[in-house]
Amino acid sequence: MREVARRPAGLFGLIVICVLLVVVVAAPLVAPYSPYSQDIVHRLEGPSAHHLLGTDELGRDLLSRVIFGARIALGVAIPAVLIAMFVGMLTGLISGYVGGATDQVAIVGMDAFQAFPAVILALALLAVLGPSLRNVVIVIGVALAPGYARVVRAMTRAAKQNQYVEAELSLGASTTRIAVHHLLPNIAAPLFILIAMDIPSAIAIEAGLAFLGLGVPPPSPSWGALLADGFNYVLISPWAIIGASAALMLTTLGFAMLGETLRDVLDPKLSGTRRWRKK
């Protein structure tokens, strides 16, 4: 972790995430107003002393809506990614370790899922399940799962070749024990990177869904919803779009930088050779 903080990109990412977490947890304290309280008289105003970001078409304080939007963003993204990770990991482990017909079937499945762009897939599933917070989380999780499954499968297959797997087998270890004790810890590291990179994806998907009107139902201040609503009034008062976009952008950037830094740090370094230059 220290290594990550040492690099500027990583530091940026860590700061963004910390701020985000604070905002999410302490939203009611941080936000000046409730995101739902309307004040039609003062609709579509620009930034002012009362409303730092201005108001939306129903007079709701934009800053508060953006702040509470963070809750939805992370509240959807984190569980979704966790679901994706668990489902993907389980599938990948079994598929990679057992191999054979099971593996073949799983691959075809993964291919099928990944053939659809995530948003389209999510759309289709939501159309079937109906829009709600819970369903959005599930749907995004399912859309992202094959990514994990593939990575875990590839790494399991590689790890399986290691001699220590054979050694454990010869001592009598069961498949479960090998998978859990010996394979899993060795493939965990890259998964963290994936997670860091996928959270912004999940947020983006949710925002996309919300923009299309299929996300978490109104009046929830999802950033995507803010974008959708603000879209109609952009010429009059662009602040909704500016606020939501800035929030989205910063969050995505933060996680992405963290992810990249993590990847750089965890990559095996050439021992000490990087700093030396030939005279």
Amino acid, single-letter form, for residue 66 = V
Residue 157 CB, shortest distance to other proteins, in Å, is 12
Residue 100 CB, shortest distance to other proteins, in Å, is 9
Determine, following the binding rule CB under 8 A, whether residue 2 of this chain makes contact with other proteins.
no
Determine, following the binding rule CB under 8 A, whether residue 171 of this chain makes contact with other proteins.
yes
Residue 178 CB, shortest distance to other proteins, in Å, is 9
Determine, following the binding rule CB under 8 A, whether residue 163 of this chain makes contact with other proteins.
yes
User: Among 189-197, 228-236, 244-252, 265-273, which window interacts with other proteins (CB under 8 A)?
Assistant: 265-273
Q: Which of residues 178-207 bind other proteins (CB under 8 A)?
A: 181-182, 185-186
Determine, following the binding rule CB under 8 A, whether residue 3 of this chain makes contact with other proteins.
no
**What does the longest C-alpha to C-alpha distance in the chain come to?**
77
List Cα–Cα distances, 37 to 71, 83, 209, 241, in angstroms. Answer: 17, 33, 24, 19
Number of H helices, E strands in the chain: 12, 0
Q: Quick check: 141 and 87 in contact, CB under 8 A?
A: yes
Determine, following the binding rule CB under 8 A, whether residue 102 of this chain makes contact with other proteins.
no
Check residue 55 and report its DSSP letter.
B
d(CA 97, CA 109): 17
As given in the structure block, the two tokens for residue 170 are 């010869």
d(CA 53, CA 223): 14
Amino acid, single-letter form, for residue 81 = V
Q: Pick between residue 104 and residue 232 the one whose CB is nearest to other proteins.
A: 104
Residue 122 CB, shortest distance to other proteins, in Å, is 30
Determine, following the binding rule CB under 8 A, whether residue 176 of this chain makes contact with other proteins.
no
Give the residues lining the site for other proteins (CB under 8 A). 101, 104, 162-164, 166-174, 177, 181-182, 185-186, 271-273, 275-278
